């Protein structure tokens, strides 16, 4: 059932975001063409400012739309009228939350990849029309990448994997924090938005206070320092950086688990649909 929920979530986001991704990449190519034409005195100089502005607007639109869909899908599907249907399905509340979080993590990553692809398309378009040999410009970069990859060690691979996991956990934490705030805000029948904003602000303040207390007592810095200086062995090679990443995964994971429980509790025990 989780797979079906994910399929539904992916389609709902894809109908809006995929066209925006295509538009973003196409605009980046057009921007590169126009900038190259301006620099070669083929087009008027006003395009030098116009097309980058268009590209920037679409880039911002992709980011804003991703966040809007993230919030609206949770509010509409689980806290709005559609919630009567969603909670009547033979699926647990945890799976409903999981489908939301997993699909949103995927689409946030897709949005970042779309930006990287569009920026690369812009750069390669301008390089291709610059009159210089693209191979001469690009080859040193690829040679540097190949040289770096040739020096990759098992420890580096572990750190890269742990770094990716840290990013995924952080993105998940950001999403579930928003959902927990919305779940609490749903208890305010007439002022749900205000309640959600206040709850989110309260979460941020609570996190800041806890981190400040830990920092002031010195326990956090002491134990983190001690852990980072313990060997995290991989074939006998100490990897304190990898151990630090593990600490981040555990720490952010605990905070995410707390917000997950808050979200589950209000959806499972104190559901208040519109």
- Cβ-contact 252, 170 below 8 angstroms: yes
pLDDT above 70 for 44: no
Q: Which of 42-51, 97-106, 112-121, 205-214 comes out lowest in average pLDDT?
A: 42-51
Tell me the sheet residues that pair with 237. 234
Please report where in the chains the tokens 């995929």 appear, as a residue.
18
pLDDT value at residue 83: 77
Using N-to-C axis directions, what is the helix angle for 93-128 and 46-74, rounded to 10°? 170
Dihedral sign (CA 240, 242, 244, 246): negative
Three-class secondary structure of residue 234 per DSSP = strand
Euclidean distance between the first and the last CA atom of the chain, given in angstroms as a whole number: 25
pLDDT above 80 for 6: yes
pTM of the model: 0.82
What band does 234 get if pLDDT is binned at 50, 70 and 90? Answer: very low
Residue 264: C-alpha distances to residues 10, 18, 56, 92, 220 (Å): 22, 30, 38, 10, 29
pLDDT value at residue 46: 62
């Amino acid at each position: 059932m989780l797979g079906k929920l994910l399929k539904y979530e992916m389609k709902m986001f894809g109908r809006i975001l995929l066209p925006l991704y295509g538009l973003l990449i196409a605009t980046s190519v057009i921007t590169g063409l126009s900038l190259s034409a301006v620099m070669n005195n083929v087009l008027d100089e006003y395009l030098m400012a116009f097309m980058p502005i268009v590209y920037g607007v679409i880039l911002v639109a992709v980011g804003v739309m991703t966040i809007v869909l993230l919030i609206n899908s949770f509010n509409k599907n689980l806290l709005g009228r559609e919630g009567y249907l969603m909670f009547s399905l033979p699926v647990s509340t945890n799976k409903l939350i999981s489908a939301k979080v997993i699909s949103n993590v995927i689409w946030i990553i897709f949005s970042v990849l779309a930006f990287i692809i569009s920026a690369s398309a812009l750069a390669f378009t301008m390089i291709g029309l610059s009159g210089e040999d693209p191979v001469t410009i690009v080859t040193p970069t690829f040679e540097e990448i190949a040289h770096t990859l040739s020096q990759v060690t098992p420890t580096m691979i572990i750190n890269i994997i742990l770094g990716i996991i840290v990013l995924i956990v952080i993105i998940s934490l950001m999403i579930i924090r928003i959902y927990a705030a919305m779940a609490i805000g749903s208890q305010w029948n007439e002022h749900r938005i205000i309640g959600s904003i206040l709850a989110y602000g309260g979460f941020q303040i609570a996190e800041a206070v806890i981190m400040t207390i830990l920092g002031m007592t010195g326990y956090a810095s002491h134990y983190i320092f001690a852990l980072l200086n313990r060997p995290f062995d991989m074939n006998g090679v100490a990897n304190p950086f990898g151990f630090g990443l593990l600490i981040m995964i555990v720490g952010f994971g605990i905070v995410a688990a707390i917000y997950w429980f808050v979200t589950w509790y209000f959806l499972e025990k104190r559901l208040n649909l519109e």
